[in-house]
Amino acid sequence: MFALLLLAGIAVGSRLSAQAEPSVPSSASSKVLVLGVVGSTSRSLAATSPDDFLRGIRVWQAHLKTASGTVFDPNVARSVRVIVASTGSSTSSRLAAVTVLARSGVSAILTPSPSPVVLRIGQRFHVPVLSSAVPKSLLATDRFAFSLSPSRLGDPQLLYNAMRGLLISRRRRLRIAIVAGRGWAAIGQQASQLAQQQGIESKLTTARGSDPRSALAQARRFGADLLYVLARPALVVSWQRRYRRSSDPPWATTLSAGSDPGTVGRPLLAAVQWNPFTSQGGMIFSAGTFTADYEKAYNALPGTSAAEGAASALAVSAAVGIAHSTGPARIAAALAEIAAPSLFGELQFHRQAQAEGPPAGLLLIRGSAVTQTTSLPSRKGR
């Protein structure tokens, strides 16, 4: 099953754990690169948990064992250790745990969401914090915060980016019917405006409450080539199962790091922030290597959050090479200088934000199988 998983986060307590991590070959030396990982909500980030962000970091860590050549200058770092912070749900317990983490000698803190507590501790102890979608207002006042740039859940730009090749190859204008669920009207308006900018004919309808039937009826009268549904992934799948007709055009939605649609009964197009079938590669991971390593370790395709975790660790790897040090302040300074191709796009920070995120992908989900696609599926047999 294709799982684009939201990191669930961390459990009660304020302890630190190495979590049965893979070891990296090293000579007898105390030179260790230590990375701290902090989750986002209420579940433990154990090495055996299904949390994609940590899994991505574990794949990076394990791959160091087989990476050709010397990843780090042996005079700087001869081994890598990942420490996972476990915190409670309260602000005080989180503050205590992250403070202990910062004082434990970590070179950087990696986290899937820009928690104010984590950012505050990073700034206080001069430890770089790498996260996703850190607000620009915080980046402007915190020189130790760095942001990777995946899109938000439901960002309609992802679908149009993912379909760019399809739009170029079509002989006539694409027609898209946009159905926005409750609370998604503003995103629906944005999707409609973006469609116009892309030369796509579109019609926007809004579902009333949790019942989309009236909106779907209006969308069908538009005669669209694609029915683009904006709602929570699980709700999209539920609507598709209950209300889809055999005469409907292909259904599509947008998934992000926080999404897992489960097993889809009928084919569903999904625009994703990061494509597990990407041909991009670079430092440590050549093209396709990360996905292959992840599948081998976890028997599943990696989601955006896994790629983001690995990319955060890759950014620190590049910074260590520039800084010739594992000192957090030096790594923070070096992060501003890196420019390295990677599985997550170019790792280069402009004003502490990744200059350009990874290219979006268009996937076709059939049951529990996932494939990359560059065309719309036919209606036959749907």
Q: Which residue has the tokens 């709700």?
A: 235
pLDDT in tens, 247-281: 999 999 887 544 555 556 678 888 888 888 888 88
82-86, 143-147, 162-166: least confident range: 162-166
Q: What's the CA gap between 314 and 281, in Å, rounded?
A: 11
Instruction: Assign domain 16-150+278-354 to a CATH class.
Output: alpha beta
Give the number of residues written for the chain. Answer: 382
Q: What b/e sequence results for 243-273 when a residue is b if at least 16 CB atoms lie within 10 Å of its CB, and e otherwise? A: ebeeebbbbbbbbbbbbbbeebebbbbbbbb
pLDDT value at position 311?
95
pLDDT value at position 165?
66
The answer to whether the beta carbons of residues 183 and 206 sit under 8 Å apart is no
DSSP structure class, residue 133: S
The answer to whether the beta carbons of residues 98 and 116 sit under 8 Å apart is no
Q: What's the CA gap between 295 and 46, in Å, rounded?
A: 18
pLDDT in tens, 271-327: 888 888 888 888 889 999 999 999 999 988 888 889 999 999 999 999 999 999 999
pLDDT in tens, 46-76: 333 348 899 999 999 988 866 544 467 777 8
DSSP structure class, residue 318: H
- pTM, entire model: 0.78
pLDDT value at position 47?
36
Q: Which two tokens stand for residue 360?
A: 């979006």
DSSP structure class, residue 28: S
CATH topology of domain 157-255: Rossmann fold (3.40.50)
Domain range summary for the chain, segments of one domain joined by +: 16-150+278-354, 157-255
The answer to whether the beta carbons of residues 106 and 98 sit under 8 Å apart is no
